[in-house]
Amino acid sequence: MAAMNSDLGGLGGRPATSQANPFESALYGAGPGLIRSGLGAYGEKFLGSSSEFMQSNITQYLSNPQYYFQVNSQYVRNKLKVILFPFLHRGHWTRITEPVGGRLSYKPPIQDINAPDLYIPLMAFGTYVVIAGYALGVLGRFTPEALTLQFTKGLLGWFLQIILIRVLLYTLGSGEAPLLDIVAYAGYGFAGTSLAMLVRVFWSPSYYFVLPWFSICTGVFLVKTMKRVLLGAPRSYERHPSRNHYFLLFLAVVQFPMLFWLGNISG
């Protein structure tokens, strides 16, 4: 009996062990590694696709900002001639392409007179604000509030031009033009407006002859640019030529009230 109790006691004193499940052991040992590798692969794929998506959209809508500042003095002189006197431009209006990384890419402004840039629009806008401040001083109406109003008017006019060109391109079937291209072309009008305002300071009556001329030149420049440079879908453009000509004519006509509004000194 004692021996039996001793055996029972021995059995009772040892912890009971259950038979290990081989599948559970395998999942327990390999599971974390598989999960980590699976999540890592999924994360890399997700981040990669997101990066490609963001990069493609940034390239499509914003492009490379540094591209628009690759200019020199010769380009600035020739570009201003094209903007202010487009009738004298005897060359083509299409942009020059070059193979880069297995695909075609547009040459920068320093190598292509028809390429858009942001240097001239920004400098022209700054000149516009400076001349407006000088004109306000000559008229005896200079105040910080008046200069701020003129600055705000300029930004609003620039924004309205961007919206107008964007809607026009979308209507003509070319809604994929980079946003900075449109910003550049919308800002070229400040070059003629600034010169007209400067002429007005020294000889007021000439303003009403100079500004209409620059309005015509800006309209012609934008029409030729929209028609031959920014239109990315020529088939859509050729499908309704008469309607599209009316839209381009509307863009040219709008430059008259737009530039007159921008050239009006408020204060």
pLDDT digit string, tens, across residues 108-134: 999 999 999 999 999 999 999 999 999
Both tokens of 111, joined, read 């190598």
Q: How many beta carbons lie within 10 A of that of residue 235, not counting itself?
A: 7
161-187 pLDDT per residue, tens: 999 999 988 887 766 778 999 999 999
Domain-embedded: residue 70: no
- Asked whether residue 196 is domain-assigned, the answer is yes
- 64 domain residue, yes or no: no
- Establish if 87 belongs to a structural domain: no
Number of structural domains (the chain) is 1
- Confidence (pLDDT) at 241: 64
Q: How many CB atoms lie within 10 A of CB 167?
A: 13
Alpha carbons 137 and 135: distance in angstroms, whole number: 5
pLDDT at 204 > cutoff 50: yes
Specify if 209 maps to a domain.
yes
- Classify burial at 80, counting beta carbons within 10 Å of its beta carbon; exposed 0-12, middle 13-18, buried 19 or more: middle
Q: Report if residue 219 sits inside a domain.
A: yes
Residue 91 belongs to some domain of the structure: no
Residue 165 in contact with residue 250, Cβ under 8 Å?
no
Amino acid identity, position 151: F
What is the value of pTM for the model shown? 0.74
Q: Could you give the dihedral angle defined by the CA atoms of residues 23, 24, 25 and 26, in that order, rounded to the nearest 10 degrees? A: 50
Within a domain: residue 147?
A: yes
- What number of CA atoms fall less than 13 Å from residue 98's CA on the CB side? 7
Residue reference for tokens 């002429």: 199
* Greater model confidence, 246 or 211: 211
DSSP the chain: -HHHHHHHHHHHHSPP-PPPPHHHHHHHHHHHHHHHHHHHHHHHHHHHHHHHHHHHHHHHHT--GGGGG---HHHHHHHHHHHH-GGG--S--SPPEEEETTEEEEPPGGG-TTS--SHHHHHHHHHHHHHHHHHHHHTT---HHHHHHHHHHHHHHHHHHHHHHHHHHHHTT-TTS-HHHHHHHHHTHHHHHHHHHHHHHH-GGGHHHHHHHHHHHHHHHHHHHIIIII-S-HHHHHHSHHHHHHHHHHHHHHHHHHHHHHHSPP-
Task: Identify the domain containing residue 129 by its residue range.
Answer: 119-263
CA 240 – CA 61 distance, rounded (Å): 26
pLDDT in tens, 20-79: 554 444 444 445 555 455 545 544 444 444 344 334 444 444 568 899 999 999 999 999
Above 80 in pLDDT, residue 212? yes
pLDDT average, residue stretch 241-264: 89
Q: Residue 17 has what pLDDT?
A: 46
